[in-house]
Amino acid sequence: MSVVGDSDPQHEGAAADKALVDRVIADMRANFERWEDLVAAQDAVTFEADLGDIYAVVDHNGRLRELALAADVMSSYTYIELQARLNAVIEALRKEVNDDFERNFGGGLVE
């Protein structure tokens, strides 16, 4: 098997073909590096909601990264009140994520 070089007598356009392939590979490498940078930047994005006694942080995938409750939260609220407070935090995070999505990608709800 012969390797096509810059001056292959059996293939007149070998140099041009090699240059084209080299440009395509360089473009693909540059696009891959830009994609890696974009993904790394997106991984750093977090959203926060703070009600004073309940604080939560989620990442761009919606994963809960932090949930902090004040010391008296478990004893000062009934089950229903605590549920309502946690739902309020989750709703605030959902709104923040949807607003960010609309700003960056032009609308539609994140399901």
Residue 89: closest CA among 106, 73, 111: 73
In the prediction, which pLDDT does 79 show?
Answer: 93
Instruction: Count H helices and E strands in the chain, helices first.
Output: 3, 3
pTM higher than 0.85? no
Residue 90: closest CA among 58, 65, 61, 46: 58
Question: For residues 89 and 56, is the Cβ–Cβ distance under 8 A?
Answer: yes
CA distance 96 to 92: 6
The CA–CA distances, whole Å, from 88 to 20, 55, 73 equal 57, 11, 14
Query: In which band, very low, low, confident or very high, does the pLDDT at 1 lie, cut at 50, 70 and 90?
Result: very low
Mean pLDDT of the chain: 84
In the prediction, which pLDDT does 102 show?
Answer: 85
Query: Would you kindly state where each structural domain of the chain is located, as residue ranges?
Result: 10-44, 46-105
Query: In which band, very low, low, confident or very high, does the pLDDT at 41 lie, cut at 50, 70 and 90?
Result: confident
- pLDDT at 103 exceeding the cut of 90: no
In the prediction, which pLDDT does 77 show?
Answer: 92
In the prediction, which pLDDT does 15 show?
Answer: 83
- pLDDT at 50 exceeding the cut of 90: yes
In the prediction, which pLDDT does 26 show?
Answer: 93
